[in-house]
Each structure stands twice: as structure tokens, then as C-alpha cells.
């Protein structure tokens, strides 16, 4: 397989609309080049996995895509918008949502409240309107509550809506974070190692959930993951990075047979 092969995704072959394009994106930390002129394209409705050894630059790529970190070079085009210089909330509003490698929840808020926070980029009212309880703000609050509950139902967590997030086991906290990302109604969902710390059973449920989000909600998925069983079973295409550079790209079968990929993962089961 050629590293440059621009393989259209299997499931999106009919339309193959580009949703997201990273063009020679570059990020340096001090002397360390974390992401090195990396380019890749994401097609609507595909599940694209980004894999690579520890420290390869995967999370940094997500931080660049979501505006958490500024680019040192290159550009990012998402649904026709150039994202360079946009703050995270503006990028979220354009339809990009993410979960974090380390779960970011408000431990002292309930599960439902944590998800409602995610709805914020889409809400019109601010603190003052909420405090004064103007009727339309109350209606919007109710809409946010209902929509957030629906997102919890989607991930199978609705019965724990009133629990404090901090009291939940790790696997369930990850699902709450996922529900919060869904509350923003993303076109594109970025998942950073969603399977880490999950049991076999939980990973199987996650696998089914990710497929459902794509198939039923039409959400395009970018997945960073070390669980190769999950990646190779679920991804339409895989981008492999090492030292911030793309070393391979293709179907799961293609990248598993790629010599540079095998060398990067020497000694590990792909
Ligand atoms: N904010 C930062 N400041 C300085 N260096 C950083 C920062 N973020 C990441 N790095 C460094 O950049 C490199 C890439 O890190 P990154 O977290 O993107 O890797 P990763 O592929 O997500 O790794 P892992 O699989 O372990 O999560 C690493 O060498 C890391 O130490
Ligand atoms: Mg990472």
C-alpha cells in the first residue's frame, strides 16, 4: 500500500463528501515537533481511526482540530470553514465535539447537569436571563433538559441522570462525557481513547454505540484508540502517525500489512 494512497472510505463511497481536512498541520513544543506537516482528509459518515505509539502526537492533533492549541503551521478546513485562529467554542458551534483522554467532568454536578453544560454552545440565554427566569429562558432551559436527557438515553445512562458524576465508576464517567459531546449536536465527534480503562464488556457496548452514532445519527467519527481489536473492527480507514508524521493510511487490512506500521509497533499485537 502506498502511504499517499487517498482511499475513499468504504461506507461513504457513494457521496465521499469531505467534512474535515487537515492540511500540513504543524505543532512544536519547545524543541519537540509534536505534529509534523500532517495532512489527512475525513469523509462524511466514516469512522476514521488515528493510531500510533505513545507520544506520537495523536492528542495534539485533536487539540489543534478543536482550537485548544494554536497551529504553528498549516490549516484546518471543517465543513467549508477555515478553523485557524478560532476559539474552541466557535469550533464547537460549527459542529465539532470531542471527549478527552482524561475524563473532564464536574464531579459535584449531577450527570444530567454535566450533559446540560454541553448544550451551552447552542443556547441563547445567559446568566442574567436565567436568574431572572424570563419565560423564553425557562422554555429554553426545559428544551436543554429534554435534549440532554435524550443524549443520556442514547448512551444508556438516563437512569443515572441525578447521580453526582464524581460517584460514578470510570467507564460510566466516559459515557457521560460522550453524552455531553453529543448534546452539542456534532457533525463530527472526536473520541480520544474512549476504550481505555473499560472492561471487555464495556468495550463491546462502546463499539456498538459508536456504530449507532454513525449509522443512526449520521455523525462522522474520529477515533484515537490503542485497543487494536476495536480499531480494526470498527474503522473504515486508519491513519497511522509516528513522531508526528503520517506513516500510513488505508483500510485496517492495509495498515496492518504495512511494514512501517509493523516496525512502529514492533513487539505489539496489531
Ligand atoms: N502541552 C504540551 N507541552 C509540551 N509538550 C507536549 C504538550 N502536549 C504534548 N506534548 C508532547 O508532544 C508529544 C505528543 O504528545 P501527544 O499527547 O499528542 O501524544 P499521543 O499520541 O496522544 O500519546 P498517548 O498515546 O500517550 O496519548 C509528546 O512527546 C508529548 O510529551
Ligand atoms: Mg493521547
What is the residue with the minimal CA distance to atom 30 of ligand 1?
55
Q: What is the mean pLDDT of residues 237-263?
A: 96
Q: For residue 241, which atom of ligand 1 is closest to its CA?
A: 21
> How many angstroms does the Cα of residue 64 sit away from the middle of ligand 1?
12
Percent of the chain at pLDDT > 90 equals 79
Q: 1-95+186-270 is classed in which CATH architecture?
A: 3-Layer(aba) Sandwich (3.40)
Angle subtended by helix axes 135-154 and 170-183, to nearest 10: 130
pLDDT at 118: 84
What does the pLDDT read at residue 268? 67
Domain ranges of the chain: 1-95+186-270, 105-185
CB 112 within 8 A of CB 158: no
Contacts (Cβ under 8 Å, ≥6 apart) of 112: 145, 148, 149, 152, 161, 162
Whether 4 shows a pLDDT value over 60: the answer reads: no
pLDDT given for residue 81 in this prediction: 98
**Ligand minimally distant from the alpha carbon of residue 226:** 1
- The residue nearest atom 14 of ligand 1, judged by CA position, is 57
Cβ < 5 A residues, ion ligand 2:
58-59, 101
CA of 238 to the centre of ligand 1 (A): 20
Distances in Å between the Cα of 201 and the Cα atoms of 131, 206, 251 are 43, 9, 25
The pLDDT score that the predictor gives to residue 123 is 59
pLDDT digits (tens, 9 = 90+) for 146-162: 999 999 999 999 999 99
245-to-156, 173, 241 alpha-carbon distances in Å: 37, 32, 5
Nearest residue (by CA) to ligand 1, atom 24, is 54
Residue 209 banded pLDDT, cuts 50, 70, 90:
very high
**Residue 68 burial (C-beta neighbours within 10 Å; 0-12, 13-18, 19+):** middle
Residues 6+ apart with CB under 8 A from 193: 101, 224, 225, 226
What is the reported pTM? 0.89
Report the pLDDT averaged over residues 119-148. 73
Q: In what order do the strands lie in the sheet with 32-43?
A: 32-43, 18-29, 73-78, 81-82
Determine which residue's CA is closest to atom 25 belonging to ligand 1.
54
Q: What is the pLDDT of residue 130?
A: 61
Q: Which residue has the higher pLDDT, 109 or 132?
A: 109
pLDDT, average across residues 98-102: 93
Strands (E) located in 52-135? 73-78, 81-82, 96-98
56 lines ligand 1 (CB under 6 A): yes
Average pLDDT of the residues of the chain: 90
For residue 93, the SS3 value is: helix
Q: Which ligand is nearest to the CA of 60?
A: 1
Amino acid at each position: 500500500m502506498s502511504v499517499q494512497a487517498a482511499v475513499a472510505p468504504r461506507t461513504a463511497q457513494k457521496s465521499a463528501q469531505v467534512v474535515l481536512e487537515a492540511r500540513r498541520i504543524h505543532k512544536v513544543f519547545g524543541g519537540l515537533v509534536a505534529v509534523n506537516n500532517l495532512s489527512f482528509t475525513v469523509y462524511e459518515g466514516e469512522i476514521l481511526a488515528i493510531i500510533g505509539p505513545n507520544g506520537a502526537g495523536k492528542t495534539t492533533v485533536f487539540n489543534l482540530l478543536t482550537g485548544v492549541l494554536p497551529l504553528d503551521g498549516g490549516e484546518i478546513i471543517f465543513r467549508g470553514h477555515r478553523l485557524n485562529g478560532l476559539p474552541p467554542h466557535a469550533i464547537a458551534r460549527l459542529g465539532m465535539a470531542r471527549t478527552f483522554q482524561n475524563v473532564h467532568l464536574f464531579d459535584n454536578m449531577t450527570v444530567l447537569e454535566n450533559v446540560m453544560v454541553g448544550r451551552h454552545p447552542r443556547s441563547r440565554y445567559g446568566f442574567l436571563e436565567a436568574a431572572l427566569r424570563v419565560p423564553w429562558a425557562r422554555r429554553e432551559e426545559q428544551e436543554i433538559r429534554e435534549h440532554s436527557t435524550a443524549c443520556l438515553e442514547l448512551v444508556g445512562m438516563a437512569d443515572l441522570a441525578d447521580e453526582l458524576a464524581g460517584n460514578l465508576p470510570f467507564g460510566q464517567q466516559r459515557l457521560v462525557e460522550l453524552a455531553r459531546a453529543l448534546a452539542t449536536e456534532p457533525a463530527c465527534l472526536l473520541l480520544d481513547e474512549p476504550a481505555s480503562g473499560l472492561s471487555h464488556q464495556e468495550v463491546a457496548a462502546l463499539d456498538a454505540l459508536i456504530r449507532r452514532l454513525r449509522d443512526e445519527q449520521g455523525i462522522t467519527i474520529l477515533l484515537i484508540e490503542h485497543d487494536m481489536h476495536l480499531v480494526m473492527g470498527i474503522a473504515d480507514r486508519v491513519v497511522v502517525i509516528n513522531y508526528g508524521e503520517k506513516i500510513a493510511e488505508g483500510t485496517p487490512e492495509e495498515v496492518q500489512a504495512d511494514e512501517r506500521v509493523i516496525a512502529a509497533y514492533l513487539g505489539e499485537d496489531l
